[in-house]
């Protein structure tokens, strides 16, 4: 069996971090099994769906490196939905309902007031032809529900949540089509999963009840349901559902200069028993990806953890991976010298200014002025190669008796204008002999 997963966002807004996590997990599961990862744009909501949002979804997936093997749009598949709907109608598995939204709301309030679950009472199944004619004479058009089989218990083995059991009598027959003829999520999703050969549906635990109803839809269409993995939802670092999580998207992370590898590395493993580790390539994450490692506790997303992970990943990136994003003149040696001091790649711009100058060095202490003059004389006489810094400091240590902070700090301040920074052994060759002599003399 070829594993086929799908990421099915609605193009009614931008992807947020919860969507991204779902996309990453679908992609990783497919790639781990050498399967196929599909993008399905659930754009049945014609009024709210926008081409620019669809383009944004594609761009976000491309930036993350989650390249779909194919793409479909539900708006291109209405004829298929109509055909399957007709089959279900002929089999008596869908039926028309004439209640208004206000009438349904009143029914729910009455049930809740009596301490009963707000389950649809199937009153529409008992309408007489005269009653239906009267409703239609009022100008009412029906919405449509899928009729659940109350004699068929619903059960499946969820890849995250384990054994799941639902009594269909405790579920409302789901509305699948509005009175204006437009489709809701439930039935088209099942029809597409059957038609596209989806083998695994990976989504949030807020869809568990939907899955219970959809399993009967698969059966009504004569299809075997896919495997399901319902993941715990993301919460903020404070342990609560956060509105901010709904606004954090790829645009936010890109504006912060974060690496896509950091986002993948964190979202691949939060909520699992596996440690979050910095990796510059997702291959080891894909190889170890397993829904058996996911827990049912809420998955905590911490922006601080993401930024720290990003910093660690930046320190792993090879020159070839970043050279197109570096300032002019930064060589591989420059990247390797400055990389340990970066939180994001863009930070290298400020550090590179330290190399190329000009810098503003603090005024040397009175006792350091002769020392810096001696350093300039020593540097002028030494071979200026990769070992120039240890050679310089060893000579100054022997000539002046200085050691530790007194030996190194005045040199760093004169050469960089700072008290801390990259390893001077790597930095001094980048500054160059003439510029270094100029700074020491100044």
Q: Which residue has the tokens 């896919």?
A: 226
> If we measure between CA atoms, which residue out of 132, 214, 111 comes closest to residue 166?
214
Q: Does 433 reside within a domain? A: yes
**CATH code (residue 376):** 1.10.10.350
343 and 306 share one domain: no
167 and 151 share one domain: yes
Which range of residues forms the domain containing residue 66? 1-76+232-316
Q: Are strands 234-236 and 175-177 parallel, antiparallel or unpaired?
A: unpaired
Beta partners for residue 177, in sequence order: 144, 183
Question: What pLDDT, in 10s, does the model give residues 304-320?
Answer: 999 999 999 999 999 99
Sign of the CA dihedral 82, 83, 84, 86? positive
Q: Greatest CA span in the chain, whole angstroms?
A: 111
* Cβ proximity of 29 and 228 under 8 Å: no
For 95, list phi and psi in degrees, rounded to 5.
-145, 150
The pLDDT score that the predictor gives to residue 241 is 64
Q: How far apart (Å, rounded) are the C-alpha atoms in residues 268 and 289?
A: 8
The pLDDT score that the predictor gives to residue 397 is 97
165 and 241 share one domain: no
The pLDDT score that the predictor gives to residue 304 is 94
The pLDDT score that the predictor gives to residue 380 is 96
243 labeled binding residue:
yes
* Cβ proximity of 189 and 8 under 8 Å: yes
30 and 41 share one domain: yes
Q: How far apart (Å, rounded) are the C-alpha atoms in residues 339 and 280?
A: 14
Beta partners for residue 162, in sequence order: 158
300 and 376 share one domain: no
Other Cβ atoms less than 10 A from the Cβ of 159: the count is: 19
Q: How far apart (Å, rounded) are the C-alpha atoms in residues 249 and 64?
A: 12
Flag residues of the chain having pLDDT under 50: none
107 and 133 share one domain: yes
Q: Does 327 reside within a domain? A: yes
The pLDDT score that the predictor gives to residue 330 is 97
What CA dihedral angle connects 83, 89, 94 and 96, to 10 degrees?
110
347 and 379 share one domain: no
| Helical pair 424-431 and 404-416, crossing angle rounded to 10 deg | 30
> If we measure between CA atoms, which residue out of 430, 433, 417, 437 comes closest to residue 338?
430
The pLDDT score that the predictor gives to residue 246 is 79
Number of domains in the chain: 4
The pLDDT score that the predictor gives to residue 237 is 78
For 125, list phi and psi in degrees, rounded to 5.
-70, -15
Q: Does 86 reside within a domain? A: no
């Amino acid at each position: 069996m070829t594993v086929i997963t799908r990421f099915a966002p609605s193009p009614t807004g931008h992807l947020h971090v919860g969507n991204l996590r779902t996309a990453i997990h679908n992609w990783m599961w497919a790639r781990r099994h050498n399967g196929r990862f599909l993008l399905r744009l659930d754009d049945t909501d014609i009024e709210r769906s926008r081409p620019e949002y669809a383009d944004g979804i594609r761009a976000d997936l491309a930036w993350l490196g989650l390249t779909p093997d194919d793409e479909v749009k539900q708006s291109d598949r209405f004829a298929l939905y109509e055909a399957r709907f007709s089959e279900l109608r002929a089999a008596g598995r869908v039926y028309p309902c004439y209640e208004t939204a206000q009438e349904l709301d009143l029914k729910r309030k009455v049930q809740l007031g009596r301490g009963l679950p707000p389950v649809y009472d199937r009153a529409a199944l008992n309408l007489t032809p005269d009653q239906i004619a009267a409703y239609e004479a009022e100008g009412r058009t029906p919405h449509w529900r899928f009729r659940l089989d109350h004699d068929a218990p619903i059960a499946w083995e969820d890849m995250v949540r384990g054994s799941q059991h639902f009594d269909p009598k405790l579920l409302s027959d789901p509305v699948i089509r509005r009175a204006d003829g437009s489709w809701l999520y439930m039935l088209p999703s099942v029809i597409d999963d059957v038609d596209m050969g989806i083998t695994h549906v990976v989504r949030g635990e807020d869809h568990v009840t939907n899955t219970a109803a959809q399993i009967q839809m698969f059966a009504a269409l004569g299809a075997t349901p896919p495997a399901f993995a319902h993941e715990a939802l993301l919460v903020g670092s404070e342990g609560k559902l956060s509105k901010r999580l709904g606004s954090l998207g790829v645009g936010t992370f890109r504006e912060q200069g974060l690496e896509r590898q950091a986002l993948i590395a964190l979202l691949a493993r939060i909520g699992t028993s596996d440690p979050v580790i910095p990796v510059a390539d997702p291959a080891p994450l894909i190889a170890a990806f397993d829904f058996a490692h996911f827990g049912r506790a809420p998955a905590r997303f911490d922006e601080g953890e993401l930024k720290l992970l990003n910093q660690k990943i930046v320190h792993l990136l090879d020159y070839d991976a970043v050279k197109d994003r570096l300032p002019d003149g930064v060589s591989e040696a420059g990247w390797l010298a400055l990389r340990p001091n970066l939180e994001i790649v863009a930070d290298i711009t400020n550090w590179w200014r330290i190399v190329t100058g000009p810098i503003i060095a603090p005024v040397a202490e009175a006792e350091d002025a002769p020392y810096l003059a001696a350093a300039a004389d020593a540097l002028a006489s030494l071979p200026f190669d990769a070992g120039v810094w240890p050679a310089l400091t060893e000579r100054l240590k022997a000539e002046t008796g200085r050691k530790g902070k007194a030996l190194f700090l005045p040199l760093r301040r004169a050469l960089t204008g700072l008290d801390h920074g990259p390893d001077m052994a790597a930095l001094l060759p980048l500054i160059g002999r003439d510029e270094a002599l100029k700074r020491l003399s100044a």
